[in-house]
Amino acid sequence: DAKTTQPPSMDCAEGRAANLPCNHSTISGNEYVYWYRQIHSQGPQYIIHGLKNNETNEMASLIITEDRKSSTLILPHATLRDTAVYYCIVRDTGTASKLTFGTGTRLQVTL
């Protein structure tokens, strides 16, 4: 079972920041938070991951709360091409390193 909770859908205006929340209240100390997105009929695309510090790359920023029970993915300037389903996943790299997907958040970016 997925260990995260995400809203089923969100809207964002093009050019504005998209802030996608994720709750992972049962996360353990050696579990990372990963974010992926899936555009229709394509494979999931890796976005970013983190353990406890905030992370930023060319695609997005990841903000993890101090207690690690929730996180937010930030797309700073959303475009129409960012319309996709976004998945927040916790993953223990001490095991088989598999990803367990939930139902994600469907982000719709509009003009």
Partner 1 sequence: ETGVTQTPRHLVMGMTNKKSLKCEQHLGHNAMYWYKQSAKKPLELMFVYNFKEQTENNSVPSRFSPECPNSSHLFLHLHTLQPEDSALYLCASSQEGLSSPLHFGNGTRLTVT
Q: Which residues bind partner 1 (CB under 8 A)?
A: 2, 32, 34, 41-46, 49, 51, 93, 96-104
DSSP assignments along the chain, one per residue: ----B--SEEEEETTSPEEEEEE-TT--TTEEEEEEEE-TTS--EEEEEESSS-EE-SS-EEEE-TTSSEEEEEESS--GGG-EEEEEEEEETTTT--------EEEEEE-
Least distance from partner 1 to the Cβ atom of residue 51, Å? 7
Q: State which residue, 49 or 72, has the beta carbon closest to partner 1.
A: 49
Least distance from partner 1 to the Cβ atom of residue 37, Å? 11
Least distance from partner 1 to the Cβ atom of residue 2, Å? 7
Q: State which residue, 34 or 86, has the beta carbon closest to partner 1.
A: 34
Q: State which residue, 79 or 93, has the beta carbon closest to partner 1.
A: 93
Residue type, 82: D
